[in-house]
Copies of this chain bind each other. A is one copy, B any other.
């Protein structure tokens, strides 16, 4: 089970919570100045520490993957798009059941990520801390008494932590309140952005809200601030949904159920269109309008119909039209 096909706390509004830690080894230059041999050595050393005593972890050497296979990991949010472009050796150490994905030799030597379904920042943070302790015990991490953890990019200096929450905000989006929300969270040192871009319907009404400041703040404070803001947004989103339902129940029901119909009947579907229907159906489940589709089912689709995943399932490259056909077919058969 992964973040996208499992539900967690407050799953009507929060899709997933993520903690990411950036760490570097003291004895090696930053990744941009590493050579292949050193990179390989660093990877082996770090992986050995991480894998000690673990049975569920898998190690994926990205140098041995095809481009389509590598993109799959981007699509399920295990690795960053930048990671798969690297020409140095780069490896993922992951435990899907725990939501753990650790990139070795990304921008930093170690990018440790814990992703949990629902609003579960604290849980994700504790898991990340456990892994961080393990790293600290087995390796010498680059750390400065005044600055904290040293990172490749100065914006990560200090805690090296980025906490983020993927929220599902259809009511705030439909009521055009994302602009105001964005201004508010920016003032608090947080950022908000659409899942794939501008934060429209085509993003499935999904937004990532994350902390910006890593320097001069403790992890605890940073997490608390983010959690408080998320809680407020959850409340506001739920209020707006309730008033949408009391103001125009027929119109919402119509929009939601048409999206169910499109997912179940279309034979050609772009990923943009899929995301739009995904979003309305997810809203419909939250509002109790859609009873025969679960969050888990719907969440699986989100990853299963992405281009690289479709391509791998087909076993050969697909042109855009064939992808739209394959996407529609997979959706019809799994919803």
- Which residues of A are in contact with B by a Cβ distance under 8 Å? 250-251, 253-254, 257-258, 260-262, 264-268, 321, 325, 328
Residues on B with C-beta less than 8 A from A254 are: 266-268, 328
Q: Is the interface of A mostly helix, strand, loop or mixed?
A: helix
- Chain B nearest CB from A274 CB (Å) reads 14
B265 touches A261 (CB 8 A): yes
Find out whether the CB atom of B262 lies under 8 angstroms from the CB atom of A258.
yes
Residue from B258, B264, B321, B328 in contact with A266 in the complex, judged by beta carbons closer than 8 Å: B258
| CB atoms of B262 and A267 under 8 A apart | no
**For the complex, what is the distance from the CA of A311 to the CA of B267, rounded to whole Å?**
36
A253, closest chain B residue (CB) = B267
25 contacts between A and B (CB under 8 A): A250-B267, A250-B268, A250-B321, A250-B325, A251-B268, A253-B267, A254-B266, A254-B267, A254-B268, A254-B328, A257-B265, A257-B266, A257-B267, A258-B261, A258-B262, A258-B265, A258-B266, A258-B267, A260-B265, A261-B261, A261-B262, A261-B264, A261-B265, A261-B266, A264-B265
CA distance A262 to B260 in the complex (A): 9
Nearest-neighbour CB distance to chain B for A203, whole angstroms, equals 23
List B contacts of A328 (CB < 8 A).
Answer: 254
Number of copies: 2
- Complexed CA–CA distance, A266 and B259 (Å): 9
Cβ contacts under 8 Å, A257 to chain B: 265-267
In the complex, what residue of chain B is closest to A259 when comparing beta carbons? B265
Closest CB-CB distance, A53 to chain B, in whole Å? 52
For the complex of A and B, 6 pairs with smallest distance between CB atoms: A261-B265, A261-B261, A254-B267, A254-B268, A257-B265, A253-B267
* Assembled-state Cα–Cα distance A331/B322 (Å): 32
- CB contacts (< 8 Å) of A321 on chain B: these are 250
Most chain B CB inside 10 Å of its own CB: which residue of A266, A267, A325, A328: A267
Complex interface: chain B residues within 8 A of A262 (CB)? 258, 261
The smallest beta-carbon distance between A287 and chain B, in angstroms, is 13
CB distance from A86 to the nearest CB of B (A): 38
Q: Which residues of B contact A261 (CB under 8 A)?
A: 258, 261-262, 264-266
Which residues on the B side are within 8 Å of A251 (C-beta)? 268
The residues of B that contact A268 with a CB separation of less than 8 Å are: 250-251, 254
Other CB < 8 Å A-B pairs besides A254-B267, A257-B265, A261-B262, 4 of them? A251-B268, A254-B328, A258-B261, A258-B266
